């Protein structure tokens, strides 16, 4: 059976921890939390990002998460709680499931609106 994109996102959403934008916004600046922006670079450049977030485009996620990869992003293997976000929530859910499947347990994603919803919940942003 072939799954469509909505089904894949729904499966990922149900398999991973979801945070509301308000709950996630309260975690910005927490020493045990790393925000991960999985949007494309052009999206980040256009609208900014969450203060302190690391940028790991979803297309590079597996390479950035792999400690043996030359492209490894150390924040992904820090042991801290990872909070992923994108523009609307779908890519972050898929990315969170990918990381969970790769053995990273402390991972959550922002559901219900992504970056704009985080901004609306007063999460501090930066260019």
Task: Domain ranges for the chain, please list them.
Answer: 5-126
- Does the pLDDT value for residue 111 go beyond 90? yes
What's the whole-model pTM score? Answer: 0.96
| Segments in the chain forming alpha helices (H) | 5-15, 21-25, 41-47, 61-65, 90-101, 114-120
Count CB neighbours of 10 within 10 A: 14
- Does the pLDDT value for residue 1 go beyond 80? no
Tell me the per-residue pLDDT of 44-55, one tens digit each, with 9 for 90 and over: 999 999 999 999
Cα dist from 25 to 52, 56, 83, whole Å: 12, 19, 10
Nearest to 94 by CA among 55, 38, 48, 52: 38
Could you tell me the two tokens for 27? 């975690």
pLDDT band for position 63 (cuts 50, 70, 90): very high
- Does the pLDDT value for residue 101 go beyond 90? yes
Could you tell me the two tokens for 54? 């690391």
Q: Could you tell me which CATH class the domain 5-126 is placed in?
A: alpha beta
């Amino acid at each position: 059976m072939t799954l469509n994109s909505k089904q894949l996102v729904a499966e990922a959403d149900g398999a991973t921890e979801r945070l509301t934008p308000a709950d996630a916004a309260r975690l910005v600046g927490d020493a045990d939390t790393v925000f991960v922006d999985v949007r494309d670079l052009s999206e980040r450049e256009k609208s900014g990002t969450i203060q302190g977030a690391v940028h790991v485009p979803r297309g590079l996620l597996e390479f950035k998460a792999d400690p043996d990869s030359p492209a490894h992003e150390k924040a992904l293997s820090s042991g801290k709680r990872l909070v992923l976000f994108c523009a609307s929530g779908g890519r972050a859910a898929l990315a969170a499931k990918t990381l969970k499947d790769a053995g990273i347990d402390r991972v959550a994603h922002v559901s219900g609106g992504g970056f704009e919803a985080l901004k609306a919940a007063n999460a501090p942003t930066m260019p």
